[in-house]
Structure formats: C-alpha cells, structure tokens
Structure 1
Amino acid sequence: MVNAGRICCIAAPFLLTLAVLICMVLLFLAGTFNHNDTVDRLYFLKIDLTNLTLDPTSSSSILAGSASDSTLLSGALNAAKQNLGMKDFYTIYLRSYCSWNGNDTYANCTDPKAYFWFNPIKVWGLNSTGVPVDTFLPKTFRDGLDAYHSASKALFYLYVGSLTASVVTLLVGISAAFSRWGSFVTTFCASAMTVLIIAASSLASAIYIILKAALNESLKKDYGIKSTIGSHVFALTWIGTAFAVGAGFFWTLSVCCCSGRSPYNPGNREARRTRAEKTPYTYERVGSPYMGPSDHQSVPLNTMGGHNYAPNRPAQMGSAYEPFRPQGV
C-alpha cells in the first residue's frame, strides 16, 4: 500500500521532472506554427535584414569584371533581395525556421525536421544569383557557419535525449511511491536527464553565440544585416536545466528518506496482533526458606507468636504479620 509520507517525499522531484518535460516540449514546438507568438518567439537566433545596405554599383562592377569580394557579395545579396524573394526577418529554431516581411510576424514557418540547420547561402539563394559566393565569403563567416553545421546534429540528439529521459524518469518515478528501491532506479534516469540537458543547453549557448558573432562580424558593418540571440529560448532551456538539477537532487534524497513500508499496515496480521510480553523486573514469589519444603509453602516466611530466634530478646506476641520484615528490626 502507498504510504502518504512517501507520496509527499517524491512529490517535489516528480513535479520538477514534469517541469523539465514541459520545457522540452515547448522547445520542440517552437517554429512549427505560423503567427503563434507563444511558441514561435522561442527562437535561438534572429536575423534582421530591414537595414540591408547594398552597393548600387555592384552589378555594373560584376559585369565589368573589376569587382572586389565585398562588391561580389553585395551584388549577390542585391540580386537575392530583388529577384529571389529574400525576407526581412529570419528566426532559427531547433527544427525549422520562419521568415516574413514587415509586421507579418512569425510567418512562413518551414516544416520541422530532424538535424535541422540554417544555411543562409541556400535559404537566401545566393548561389542562384550567378555569383560564386562560396569562393569569396569572409573566413569568419565560413568558420562560424561550419561550426554551427557540425554541432547542429549533436544538439538535436542531446535535446531528444533530454526529452526522452524526462519521460522515462516520470514513468519510472511512479514506482518510487512504493519503495525506496523505486527511487534508486529513478535516480539513474534523473541523472541521465540532468547530464543531457546540461550538455544541450551549454552546446546551444556556445554555437549560437559563435554563429551570431560570425554573422555580425561579416555582414553587419558592411551590409547592415544584424543578428540577435533569442533570450526567451535560452531562458527556457536553462530554467529546464535548473529544474533537472533540482529533480536529480530530490530523487537522490528520496532514496534515503521516507520508507514506503508502514508498521501499521492493516493488511498485515502480524502488525495488528497485540503482543503482551513479560517485563523483566517483576516480582515472583519463591519458596520459603529458599529451596526448602514446597508442600504448599508449609514453612512461614516469618515467625508468628511465641517463637523468638533472637536469644537475648523476649518473644514478640501479637506482632503484625510482615513476611519480609526482619524480626530484629
């Protein structure tokens, strides 16, 4: 039978694990609904092209064959903006991205997919402008994009692992209501959940900071393309991490505290049975004199009447019967 004290003991880690699961679900839902401010603002990175600055002479310079690298990139951006439908805003999520113009916020969200990564060269169509942009992109831009691409698959695995571990911890945690052995097994699941979400949050913070720095250094000054980190999603993932750490601590604590067994279990006959045990220091009468006649205690414990065993004292007639009081007193 479930002990009420045991339920109270595991309530805190169970609710904290549930909070971790909610954080992970919100993170996976982000970027999957058009015009949804609740979850679509949970983006990792936002790219703002509203202040895009282009060299008006870039096209003629390209045609003349005298264009520099920056002029070539400006020409490619100009062609993408004019002819390929480049949007004003792009928001990057774990499994998709959204793009829109003006106030049409969080529109045109792509279908979510595993191992997603945002490739601006492909999304903006720079390779479709007739300019070989891969050959003259700034080194910082290429390095930051390569690092982000390499880490995106690991990031997806870590968040999937965190989501799965939180579900498993909740399911296994139900057994912790019955015994501390259940808490012992649940602690391993909670530990795995904690390690995975710490790694995921740390990796996400690192790679998107690197990507933001690479984009701003390469595109902000010369072209007016600004990138910003999404504060909401990082608050969500680190709050989920804090919940996971707390859940792991309290699951471990529940192994040592609040046993699930109750000595007053009504289903246990042995627990309900009243036991009467002899106390060790009670008085039991013995034969008198000790080890003497046992014929119904025929020898009195003390002299009565005319017998006097003290030679120099007169007999005490009519004294009270006090079996344990010495006659010489």
Structure 2
Amino acid sequence: MGKVGRAACIVTPMALAIAALVCLVLVFLGNSKSSSTLGDLYFLKADTSEFRSNPLNISGVDDELLAALQTTVDSDLKDIYTVGLMNYCDGNKNSTGGYKLTYCSPRKSAYYFDPISTWGLNNTAVEGLVPDSLQNGLKIYRKVAKWMYAAYAVALACNAIEIVVGILAIFSRWGSFLTTFVSTAATIFTVAASVTSTALYVTIMGTFNSALKDYNIKASLGGKMLAVTWLASAFAIGAGLFWMLSTCCCSGRSSDKHNRGRGPVVEKAPYTYERVNSPFGTSNNNATNSNVPLRDMNGQHTGYEPYSHRNV
C-alpha cells in the first residue's frame, strides 16, 4: 500500500505539470490559420480596416505621411494583423463583422512584429515620416521579444523535464526533491514569460494607439492568449507547491517494513514468565533429559522447562 499511496500523492502535481505544458504548447502553436481555435490565440491585433475603407476622412495628420501611406500600402493593406509568439497573420473582415486569416508568416524564434516592414514602408519616404514614438517603441519591442521567447522556450523545456523526472517521485522522497528543483525553475520561467509578454504587448498596444490613432489604425490585446499563458503560470505554481509537499508527506513506506521477517509484535503484559536458556547449554527441547533436575515448588521432579520470573 505504501507505493500505491505515494503514487496517489503525486497525481495532483503531475496533472498540474501536464496542464502547464499543454498551455505552453498552445502559446507556441497559436496564431495559425489551420484552425479557428489556434487562430484566436494571439498577443496583439492591429485593425487597419478603417484606414483602408475611408482614408479621405482622416484629419489632423501629416499630409505627406498620409499621402505616402495611401499610395504605398492602400492597395496591399489587409484589414487585420494578428501577432503571435513566433509569427504574424493577416486577413480581411467579412460581412458579419468577423474576419478570416488568409496568410501567416513562417515561424521563427525571437520573432517581433515590425509594421513598417510588414506594410512595405521600409526603404521608402514613408519610413522617415513614421512617428518617433512608434519607432522607439519598436526598438524596445525588438530587444524584449528575444528575452520573452527565451523565457518561453526554457519554461517549455523545464515543464517537459519536470514530467519525466516526476516519475522518480513515485518511488522516493528524493525523487520529489529533484522534481521540486526542476519545477521551481519551470515556475520561475513560466511566470517570467507571462509577465514579460503581458507588459510588452500592453506597451505596444498603447504605442500603436497613440502613434496611429489619427490614421484609424487600432490595436487590441489578445485576451485568450494572455489567459492561456497565465493559466500555464497558475498550473506551474500549483505543481511546484504540491511537489514540495510530496517531499515531506507520503513517504511510500509500508507500515510493516521494519518488522518484515520478525512476525507480529506482541506487547508484553506485566508479571509474565519468559523462557530462559539452560545454564549448562542444553536446549529447551531436551531440558527434561538433562542432568539438571527440574523441580517444582514442592521439590518434586517435573517435566516443565525452567522459567524466569521478573517484573516487566
């Protein structure tokens, strides 16, 4: 029952670790046009449909920049751009107000979304007219995106290792200790990645809306992706706590482990008699055939073995 009880004790942290790993995998697979579920998993969405549909009504902007935007990107600009961990996708709105993704860029590590390059504004006169606030924000985004991707990659690897090492926890507390160590690393990097991605895309959203609001280009956060990454953090934290508890609870030892081969332990009552060995080296079975006479209280020979009488 000891090993069975220990196996039951680690079911909870193992399940939480698996759930955290699944969430992290979804973060990596998100922003894809292969399915609507994955397509809804993005960190940031830029809506440019208003600029494309009615550019002449935009007022209060740099006329030179507006003219350059109209001539350079109006014909190729999509309605929607979504940004994931490793790529971006674009698509057009439909009559019902929804949208369908039509293209997703190849996935690559440490990806960051550069609207100037994506919209074909680089190496043109428009590039120099882009607001400084947007250009500065993109420079910071480029640097932080590398750390963010590294944090997610390490978190994914640590969670996978945690599940494998967690099998050792079934057999001993040392296995739980080792798993707790790996789980701590997984928790730290998962939470760090979630904090970084949330802070980063909240900042980028604010920069987009501030620099491009006059052009009717609006940015919004992907709530589902943020929910998934924070669920991964919650699961990782829970797994770490339960792994830690398993190092001091559910030892896995059987209750009769130290009595194995000794038979049942019987508590001795006070004033009991115990068999003693013959002082002349004879066995108890041959005590009646020894040269030592055995007498009872009346001096008569008896066939009983000698006993010692002591107070226990």
Q: Tell me the distance in 2 between the aligned counterparts of 1:29 and 1:262.
A: 45
**Counterpart for residue 232 of structure 1:** 224
Greater Rg over alpha carbons, structure: 1
Does residue 54 in structure 1 map to residue 45 in structure 2? no
Tell me by how many angstroms 1:76 deviates. 2.5
Contact 1:264–1:272 under 8 Å retained in 2:
no
**Counterpart for residue 82 of structure 1:** 74
Contact 2:58–2:216 under 8 Å retained in 1:
no
* Runs of 4+ that moved beyond 4 A: 55-58, 275-278, 297-300
Q: Tell me the distance in 1 between the aligned counterparts of 2:65 and 2:174.
A: 63
Q: Tell me the distance in 1 between the aligned counterparts of 2:166 and 2:30.
A: 28
1:205 aligned residue (198, 210, 221) = 198
Contact 1:141–1:214 under 8 Å retained in 2:
yes
Does residue 122 in structure 1 map to residue 111 in structure 2? no
Q: Tell me the distance in 2 between the aligned counterparts of 1:179 and 1:10.
A: 11
Contact 1:36–1:106 under 8 Å retained in 2:
no
Does residue 223 in structure 1 map to residue 222 in structure 2? no
Unpaired runs of 5+ in structure 2? 275-292, 300-312
Q: Relative to 1, partners in 2 of residues 1:259 and 1:80: Cα closer, same or farther, differing over 3 Å?
A: same
1:62-141 superposed matches below 5 A? 70-83=62-75, 85-103=76-94, 105-128=100-123, 130-133=124-127, 135-141=128-134
Please, what is the CA RMSD of the aligned residues? 2.6
Give me the TM-score of the superposition, normalised by structure 1. 0.77
Q: Tell me the distance in 1 between the aligned counterparts of 2:298 and 2:103.
A: 114
**Deviations 1:225-247, CA, capped at 9 Å, x for gaps:** 01000000001111111111111
1:278-289 superposed matches below 5 A? 279=268, 281-284=270-273
**Deviations 1:15-64, CA, capped at 9 Å, x for gaps:** 00000000011111112x32521111110000001111535899xxxxxx
1:155-234 superposed matches below 5 A? 155-220=148-213, 222-234=214-226
**Counterpart for residue 10 of structure 1:** 10
Unpaired runs of 5+ in structure 1? 59-67, 286-293, 301-329
Secondary structure at 1:117 match in 2: coil
Give me the TM-score of the superposition, normalised by structure 2. 0.81
Q: Relative to 1, partners in 2 of residues 1:56 and 1:42: Cα closer, same or farther, differing over 3 Å?
A: closer
Q: Tell me the distance in 2 between the aligned counterparts of 1:46 and 1:93.
A: 9
Q: Tell me the distance in 2 between the aligned counterparts of 1:200 and 1:283.
A: 71
Contact 2:2–2:251 under 8 Å retained in 1:
no
Q: Tell me the distance in 1 between the aligned counterparts of 2:173 and 2:272.
A: 46
**Counterpart for residue 284 of structure 2:** none
**Deviations 1:91-122, CA, capped at 9 Å, x for gaps:** 00000110112235122011111111110000
Q: Tell me the distance in 1 between the aligned counterparts of 2:219 and 2:294.
A: 111
Secondary structure at 1:105 match in 2: strand
Contact 2:58–2:215 under 8 Å retained in 1:
no
Contact 1:43–1:91 under 8 Å retained in 2:
yes
Contact 1:13–1:248 under 8 Å retained in 2:
yes
Q: Relative to 1, partners in 2 of residues 1:56 and 1:253: Cα closer, same or farther, differing over 3 Å?
A: closer
2:144 aligned residue (128, 142, 151) = 151
Does residue 41 in structure 1 map to residue 30 in structure 2? no
Q: Tell me the distance in 2 between the aligned counterparts of 1:212 and 1:281.
A: 83
Secondary structure at 1:258 match in 2: coil
Tell me by how many angstroms 1:283 deviates. 3.7
Q: Relative to 1, partners in 2 of residues 1:26 and 1:298: Cα closer, same or farther, differing over 3 Å?
A: closer
Count of equivalent residues: 275
Does residue 261 in structure 1 map to residue 250 in structure 2? no
Tell me by how many angstroms 1:183 deviates. 0.3
Q: Tell me the distance in 2 between the aligned counterparts of 1:274 and 1:36.
A: 64
Secondary structure at 2:62 match in 1: helix
Q: Tell me the distance in 1 between the aligned counterparts of 2:194 and 2:265.
A: 62
